[in-house]
Each structure stands twice: as structure tokens, then as C-alpha cells.
Amino acid sequence: MRLVVLFDLPVKTKKQRHDATAFRNFLLKDGYHMLQYSVYVRICNGADAVQKHRVRLYDHLPDNGAVRLLVITEKQYASIEILLGHLSEADQSFESQQLTIL
């Protein structure tokens, strides 16, 4: 499964910029990678991992702005189409790669 976090955070004041940067840094440290500006994606192995990361996300929400969480399957994620531009090597590295540790 994939968690997709989409957000629009205010950055007009110094505190708002700090909060937005802290939120992005949390996402990166928590295993998300940037798919597009303000769109981050993370792999989760099952519903328990999704719930764990959902709670972690709620614990790190900034005071203002809009944050959305979308949970999709690997099959749905693999069907993403890039409609503009050319597929770069960086884009190809984020294709459906999942590591399972037993």
C-alpha cells in the first residue's frame, strides 16, 4: 500500500515557513519521498502500518493549512501516468518497489 500526502501550507510569515519546513522534514525523516511539490508518498506493508503512520502524521500536523491523506494499493499506484514532459531516471526510480522484511 502507499500513503500519499498532499498539502497546501501557508508560508507568508516566518513562523508559517518554519512550520511548513518542519512538516516537510518530518515527512522525509518518516520515509516519504517527494513525488511533486507538496505531494509525498510512502510505502506501507498492510493496514497496521498505514494506521501507525496515519497517527504519526496527525501528531505532526502544522497549525494551519490543508493536509490530505490518500491510501492506495500498489496496483493503483503503478497505474500513474505522467501526462507532460519526459520520464526522467529519478521518476523511474520511484516505480512500484516494495521491500518486505519477514
> What is the domain class of 2-92 according to CATH?
alpha beta
Cell numbers for 16, please give them. Answer: 508559517
Question: What pLDDT sits at residue 82?
Answer: 79
Record the pTM: 0.78
User: How far apart are the C-alpha atoms of 20 and 15, rounded to whole Å?
Assistant: 9
| Euclidean distance between CA atoms 29 and 53, whole angstroms | 12
* More confident site: 20 or 81: 20
State the pLDDT at residue 91. 63
pLDDT at residue 98, as a whole number: 54
> Does residue 95 have a pLDDT over 60?
no
Kindly state the average pLDDT of the residues 48-77. 92
